[in-house]
Chains A and B, each alone.
Chain A
Amino acid sequence: MKKTFLKAACFTVAVFILFTTLTACTAGSKTISTTSSTAASSISAAVSTTAGNESVYPLKTDVKLTYWSEMNPNVSANYKNAGDTPFAQELAKRTGIQVEYIHSTTDEAFALLMASNDLPDIIEFWWDAYPGGPSQALKDDQIIALNDIMDEHAPNFTKWLKAHPDVARQIRWDEGYYIGFPCVLGDGKEVYVQYGPQIRKDLLDKLKLSVPETVDEWYSALKGMKDLGVAAPITANKGYRIDFLARAFGIVIGDLKVGAFYIEDGKVVYGPMQPAYKDYLATWRKWYADGLIDKDIATVDGNIAKAKILDGSSAATVGTVGTLYTYNDTAQKNIPGFQMVAAPLPVLKKGDVNKYPFVENQYTPSEVQAVITKQCKHPDIAARLLDYLWSEEGIILANWGIKDKTYTVGVDGKFKYTDFVKNNPDGWTVSRVKGGYMRSYASGPFYQDVTIAFQTYMIPEQFEARDLWTKTVSLEHLLPPMRRTASEDEEFTKIINDVKTYSEECLLKFMMGTMSLDEYDTYTAQMKQLGIDRAIEIMQAAYTRYLAK
């Protein structure tokens, strides 16, 4: 009897294990939910087609669209599915289009989706991740271009493009088509300047120095702070942003890949190959030898850098306007009198203006885009849905949320976030409230109003920072968002990866003194051998193509 029972038990366990193994074969987890209980029918009802007339909304249609996107942590903190957010519901109400939002949580979600050949109607993602880029996806017949349907079914977007020909040119592909609704940063100089140098004003006051403007003034300020006992005067996240010093020499280092290319006299150049790079390295090396730069500069990550600033072992860094608040607010408790202010980008000669600020284009091809797939049976309705965010009300909805709930309009016409956003009664952070009521918590396929950032400024230092960094913003050296062809890109990627690794290593070696500046020529020779000239050629070709658009 016992033996048969044992056999039966073994049998059950074996079968059970088999089934659990096989369930792993099924597709990865997906969270699907519906915005409302309307039945999913694909019968499209009559849609008003008065082009350019916004009274087209809400559409009278029964079509339900499927919308695939990544779930942002600010949303997922409080909602299981984007469709549950008040934003989505308001959007559905205003456009009259029911949307089923699909999210996937695995890393390879996008790849799996594209490989599955079962595409939803709209996909919002960083389409640069598709091998060959979105234009390849177009060639592979996975998505559609908007050109044929734009005029009639996306009038707001079309109107916006006509009003912004420069940005339109950036968004438009060389071959002339528009793929997807892009993420565009708003008009207004402020949007360009992402971050800048920051320094401890209270220490400067102690040293009786003013906020440094030239490279030499920076040197004296940092040296003075070092004598005051600051162990690592200047630090930054993984060291890249300290290329603010290089920018004083007219060199942009950026990420040492595409970010290190910029325009000089109408030609595309690569920062570390410029002659002034050697001068920059000499100064940089001196700063390091004199102990002004954090010794751990290559290993410091965001958290460690923040900790160093907050406990006083560092006194200067490069950061965003947001971090200014974090520093000033948190450090007060430990260090009385702590005051972090923004400093201008340094220059070589007093009175000069730094022409190489930390700027970004209004449109970056590698950002998120919402595209309509080939399998969408109602591209016209999909276009209408996405187009809504480009209408006047849509822009307000995406950026500010719902009137009187998340924003108010003052007598002067100025928009302001309400206390519901800034001091949420349920204790939600600003980003999470935004996650529920708007789309401006992150980038998305809409036009981002630049003034929303100012709403969350808490201290005067932030406003001063914004004014200081945008005062002299200049785009003359910024590389526009150009595109390389698929074959160019393959060649380019191969070269630039090796170039980046080598440049990074040498930069650190020159800084630490492991490589002496006498070996600089070996450095440039090796760069050439790695193919940097060809890479510059490729970028130049892309640039010329861009200008000819």
Chain B
Amino acid sequence: MSREILPEIVPEKPLLAIFHRISKDFKKNWFVYLMVLPVVTYYLIFYYVPMYGIQIGFKDFNIAKGYSGSPWVGLKYFKMFFDSFYLWRVLRNTVLINLYELIFSFPAPILFALLLNEVKNRRFKKYVQTISYLPHFISTVVICGIITNFCVSDGLINDIISLLGGERNSLLQNVKYFRTIFIASGIWQGLGFSSIIYFAAISAVDQELYQSAIIDGASRFRQVWHITLPSIKPTIIILLILNIGGFLNVGFQKIILLYNPATYEVADVISSHVYTYGLQKLNWSYGAAVGLFNSVANLILLIAANRVSKKVSEISLW
């Protein structure tokens, strides 16, 4: 696609300029725009338009009365959320679990991709990769059933522990082990799938760089450290920013399936709390209010992370 050199033009209003640029591009590349159209429409219809439903967080939503018929109640449900006895515990647990995931679950796929990339046998590499992303497709309910079965006093993990000389323990009832089990199982399930994007990034690295490094006498480790890692740095940082943008989200499904009264202290997160509080009585207003709070908090974190990243590494989402 050759770029034509534009002749000297009279500066026009910026909006008009953009419009002209797009229409020129459109004439040449209309099929690209057409390909994007479904995606844009999808986001418009399913993500942007429904945003006007956020108003139910400020109303006493009644399905029969609909959006316009339900009365405004202002910050009632927000107050309800912030007044709840377990607020701090729930916030703390959400943030902590996400923090641990950041420290452990985030680097894991990167490490995995880097290590597997060093393996010379291509078939072995492919097999391992394929097997590694199979757990991703298993439903959460099944995974939690497996975990529960394994963690029971006479389950598999305890069998191993007693073989090694330890004492049998009901693992899922122990406050100390909950986060470990939650995050470890998350890594096991997500490792393969998340590493795909890193594999893609690694394979995009120019082989000549490696060859010149070998000539310079670099060991395998040094090659990884000085070539591979810096090359995939943009990918890592983008994913990191996105991760931070989801800091107040912890999926409630897995929590609810794995927690029990003995571990509420560390396991109850915002989503599971809202679920038990709001969903049982179809209290959508409450759910919407908390969801809005979550989204706004996440947005602030996302913008902050993006800004910091831009300053520190010049890589950012926008």
Contacts and interface: CB of A to CB of B under 8 A. Distances in A.
B64 A140 contact: yes
Contact of A111 (B41, B63, B262, B265): B63
B38 A17 contact: yes
Interface stretch (B17-25, B147-155, B227-235, B294-302): B147-155
Contacts of A301: 148
A512 B174 CA distance: 11
Interface stretch (A6-14, A75-83, A263-271, A428-436): A6-14
Contacts of B85: 498, 502, 530
A132 B152 CA distance: 40
Interface string B18-44: 000000000000010011011001100
Nearest to A256: B261
Contact of A299 (B168, B173, B281): B173
A380 interface: no
A136 B283 CA distance: 14
A13 B35 contact: yes
Nearest to A311: B154
B80 interface: yes
B260 A11 contact: no
B151 A299 contact: yes
Q: Is the interface of B mostly helix, strand, loop or mixed?
A: helix
B94 to A, nearest CB: 16
Contact of B261 (A111, A304, A498, A504): A504
A298 B260 contact: yes
Top 4 closest pairs, chain A to chain B, by CB: A504-B261, A140-B64, A298-B260, A17-B38
A137 interface: yes
27 contacts: A7-B31, A10-B35, A14-B38, A15-B34, A21-B45, A22-B45, A115-B64, A140-B62, A140-B64, A142-B64, A295-B170, A295-B173, A296-B170, A296-B173, A297-B173, A298-B173, A298-B262, A313-B154, A493-B277, A497-B276, A501-B264, A501-B276, A502-B85, A505-B261, A508-B173, A509-B262, A530-B85
A131 B61 CA distance: 9
A296 B171 CA distance: 8
Contact of B153 (A136, A295, A501): A295
B188 interface: no
Contacts of B37: 14, 18
Interface in A13-39: 13-15, 17-18, 21-22, 24-25
Nearest to B42: A21
Interface residues of B, number: 41
B86 interface: yes
A132 B285 CA distance: 13
A140 B148 contact: no
A296 B148 CA distance: 10
Given A11-B31, A299-B173, A498-B86, A512 B281 contact: no
B63 A21 contact: no
Contacts of A300: 152
A508 B261 contact: yes
Contacts of B65: 140
Contacts of A498: 84-86
B19 to A, nearest CB: 23
Most buried by A among B85, B169, B276: B85
A304 B168 CA distance: 17
Contact of A132 (B62, B168, B264): B62
Given A11-B31, A14-B38, A111 B282 contact: yes
B172 interface: yes
Given A299-B172, A504-B264, A304 B149 contact: yes
B14 interface: no
